[in-house]
């Protein structure tokens, strides 16, 4: 059953190749964003929007090919949900990049170390997700990759707590400054949740193929 689904016809192979590309583009965007946080280069975040447009084109092609009949019906919903999770991670990253452009330097410097660490973890999680997808194709065990992603996600949760604790003692008199930093922190920490969700759907797909 597994070989028939994963190593099937031309449509399945096209979807698989496009999904690999979709994940790799997300990893590139996360790495670009991580570098922009480290250098505090606001303009560099434009790469996220550029890569998001590229990824969106790939996503549309994936969905179109699935609608043409790729894969058996019982597995299509989980594949589509996996793609949606990756796409939502991309959208959230784009939101984070947008807020970063308007984040005040004096506020960002207070939480810069934690934000850089989160961005580094998000990037690492994406790399593991890419490896996990390839492992699924090779009929390997996803448990180790899934666990690694869960451990990373817990680290992001801990870092978010540290950031909130710092910001709680910071006096912010301008409403928009407060909203921007609040939204920014929410977005960069949500990315790890979405990558974890995507990993869970890979695991569901693996179980359904057994």
User: Which pLDDT score is estimated for 102?
Assistant: 94
Please give the Cα distance from 76 to 63 (Å, whole number): 10
Q: CATH no. for residue 69?
A: 1.20.58.220
pLDDT band at 3 (very low <50, low <70, confident <90, very high): low
Report how many domains make up the chain: 1
pLDDT tens for each residue of 183-199: 999 999 999 999 999 99
pLDDT tens for each residue of 8-41: 588 888 999 999 999 999 999 999 999 999 999 9
Helix axes 10-39, 46-67, angle to 10 degrees: 170
pLDDT band at 75 (very low <50, low <70, confident <90, very high): confident
Residue 150 belongs to domain spanning: 2-208
More confident residue, 72 or 133: 133
Question: Which DSSP string corresponds to 46-103?
Answer: HHHHHHHHHHHHHHHHHHHHHHTT-S-TTTHHHHHHHHHHHHHHHHHHHHHHHHHHT-
pTM (predicted TM-score): 0.93
């Amino acid at each position: 059953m597994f070989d028939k689904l994963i190593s099937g016809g031309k449509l399945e192979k096209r979807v698989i190749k496009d999904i690999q590309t979709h994940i790799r583009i997300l990893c590139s965007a996360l790495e670009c964003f991580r570098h922009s946080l480290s250098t505090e280069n606001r303009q560099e975040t434009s790469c996220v929007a550029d890569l998001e447009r590229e990824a969106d084109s790939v996503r549309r092609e994936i969905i179109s090919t699935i609608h043409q009949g790729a894969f058996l019906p019982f597995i299509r919903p989980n594949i589509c949900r996996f793609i949606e999770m990756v796409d939502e991670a991309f959208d959230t990253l784009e939101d984070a990049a947008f807020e970063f452009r308007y984040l005040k330097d004096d506020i960002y410097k207070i939480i810069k170390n934690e934000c850089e660490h989160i961005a580094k973890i998000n990037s690492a999680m994406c790399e593991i997700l890419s490896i996990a997808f390839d492992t699924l194709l090779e009929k390997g065990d996803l448990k180790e990759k899934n666990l690694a992603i869960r451990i990373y996600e817990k680290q992001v949760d801990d870092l978010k707590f540290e950031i909130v604790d710092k910001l709680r003692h910071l006096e912010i008199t301008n409403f928009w400054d407060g909203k921007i930093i609040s939204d920014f922190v929410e977005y960069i920490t949500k990315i790890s949740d979405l990558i974890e969700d995507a990993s869970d759907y890979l695991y569901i797909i693996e179980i359904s193929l057994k």
